[in-house]
Structure 1
Amino acid sequence: MPSRVTAAALGAAILLGASAPAYAATDPGGAPPVVQFSTARGDAPVLRPGMHRTAPPTGRTERYAAITRPQGGAVTVAIFGSVDAAITTADGKNTCSSSGASLSNDVTGYTFVYVDPAHSERQTYQPDECASATDLILRIRSDDSSSSSSSSAAATGPLQVAVTVEPKLAAAGSPSPKDQQNKIAAPSTSTPAAERAVSDRLAAPTSLEPGSYRVSLTPGRLAVARVRVGWGQRLAASVDAPRNGSNFAPSESLDVALAAFSPQWAPVGGGDGSALLFKEESTERTASVYTAPVNRGNSKVDYDTAGDVGTSRAQWTTVAGWYYVVVRVSATQQDQQPTTRSLPARLNLAVVGTPTAGPTYVGADGTAAAAPAATQLSQGGTSDSASGAATALRIGGSVFVVAAAAAVVAFLRRRA
Structure 2
Amino acid sequence: MVRRGAGRRAAAGRSRRDRRGRCLSHQLAVRLAVAAAALCLAAAGPGPSALAAGGADPYAFTDGARSVTGATSTTDALPLEPGRTYRSSLPGSGKLYYRLDLDATSTAYVSATAVPGAGTTVAATDGLRISVRDARGASCSSQAARFGPSRSPHPVAAWGAREISSGRPLCQGAGSYYVLVERVGAKASSSDTWPLELAVVSEPPLQRAGATSAPGSWNSASPQPVTGQAAERAGGAGFAAASTVGQGVWRTRIRPGQTFFYKVPVDWGQQLNAGVELGSSSGGSGYVNGALTLSLYNPVRGFVEEAYAGYSGRQTSAALAPVPPVAHANRHGFAAQVKGMRFAGHHYLVVHLAAQTADSFGEGPYGLVLRVRVDGTAQPGPDYAGRSEPGQLFEVTAHDRAAATPAGAADGSAALRALAVGGIGAGTVLLAVLGAWTVLARRRADAL
- What TM-score, normalized by structure 1, do the two folds share? 0.64
Q: Contact between 1:35 and 1:53, CA under 8 Å: does it hold in 2?
A: yes
Deviations 1:122-145 (A, max 9, x none): xxxx6x442335431223356575
Secondary structure of the corresponding residue to residue 168 of structure 1:
coil
Which structure 1 residue ranges, 5 or more long, are not aligned?
Answer: 1-27, 121-125, 303-310, 362-368, 386-416
Report sequence identity in percent: 22
Please state if 1:49 is matched with 2:94: no
The match for 1:114 is 161
Q: Any idea what the Cα deviations from partners look like across 1:338-366, whole Å, max 9, x if unmatched?
A: 535221121122222211111123xxxxx
Larger relative helix fraction: 2
Change (3 A) 1:375 1:145: farther
Q: Does the 8 Å contact 1:46/1:68 carry over to 2?
A: yes
In the TM superposition, residue 318 of structure 1 has moved relative to its aligned partner by 0.6
**1:92-134 deviation per Cα after TM superposition (whole angstroms, max 9, x unaligned):** 53232344555757455533222323466xxxxx6x4423354
Structure possessing the higher radius of gyration over alpha carbons: 2
Deviations 1:359-411 (A, max 9, x none): 123xxxxxxx234355475699xx999xxxxxxxxxxxxxxxxxxxxxxxxxx
Write the distance in 2 (CA, Å) between the matches of 1:148 and 1:41.
21
Equivalences, count: 319
Greater mean deviation of Cα atoms: 39-48 or 67-76: 39-48
Partner Cα distance (1:188, 1:376) in 2: 32
* Cα distance, 1:332 vs structure 2: 9.0
Structure 2: segments with no counterpart, 5+ residues = 1-60, 115-126, 397-409, 413-448
Is residue 354 from structure 1 mapped to residue 377 from structure 2 by the alignment? yes
Q: Are 2:367 and 1:344 aligned?
A: yes
Please state whether the residue corresponding to 2:98 is helix, strand or coil.
strand
C-alpha contact (below 8 Å) 1:252/1:339 kept by paired residues: no
Q: Which residue identity does 1:313 align to in structure 2?
A: Q
Q: What is the deviation of 1:239?
A: 1.6
Which residue, out of 276, 287, 290, partners 1:253? Answer: 287
The aligned residue for residue 300 of structure 1 is 332
| Contact persistence 1:35–1:52 (CA under 8 A) | no
Q: Structure 2 counterpart of 1:178, which letter?
A: S
- Secondary structure, in 3 states, of the residue corresponding to 1:351? strand
TM-score (norm 2): 0.60
After TM superposition, give the deviation of residue 65 of structure 1 in Å. 2.8
Preserved contact between residue 164 and residue 379 of structure 1 (Cα < 8 Å): no
Q: Which residue of 1 aligns with 2:130?
A: 85
Aligned 8 A contact 2:84 2:200 in 1: yes
Query: Could you say what secondary structure the match of 2:89 adopts?
Result: coil
Alignment of 1:10-409 (within 5 A): 30-38=63-71, 41=74, 44-56=77-89, 58=91, 62-81=95-114, 83-90=128-135, 92-99=136-143, 106=153, 108-118=155-165, 128-141=169-182, 145-147=186-188, 149-151=190-192, 155-157=193-195, 159-169=196-206, 170-173=208-211, 175-192=214-231, 195-202=232-239, 204-242=241-279, 251-254=285-288, 255-269=291-305, 273-279=307-313, 281=314, 284-289=315-320, 290-302=322-334, 311-330=335-354, 339-361=362-384, 369-372=385-388, 375=391, 377=393
Q: Structure 2 vs 1, CA of residues 84 and 176 (structure 1 numbering), >3 Å: closer, same or farther?
A: closer
Asked whether the equivalents of residues 219 and 338 of structure 1 are also in contact (C-alpha less than 8 Å), the reply is no
Structure 2 SS opposite 1:175 = coil
Give the Cα–Cα distance (whole angstroms) in 1 for the partners of residues 395 and 101 of structure 2. Answer: 18
Larger RCO (CA under 8 A, 6+ residues apart): 1
**Which residue type is aligned with residue 347 of structure 1?**
L
How far, CA to CA, are the matches of 2:83 and 2:111 in structure 1? 11
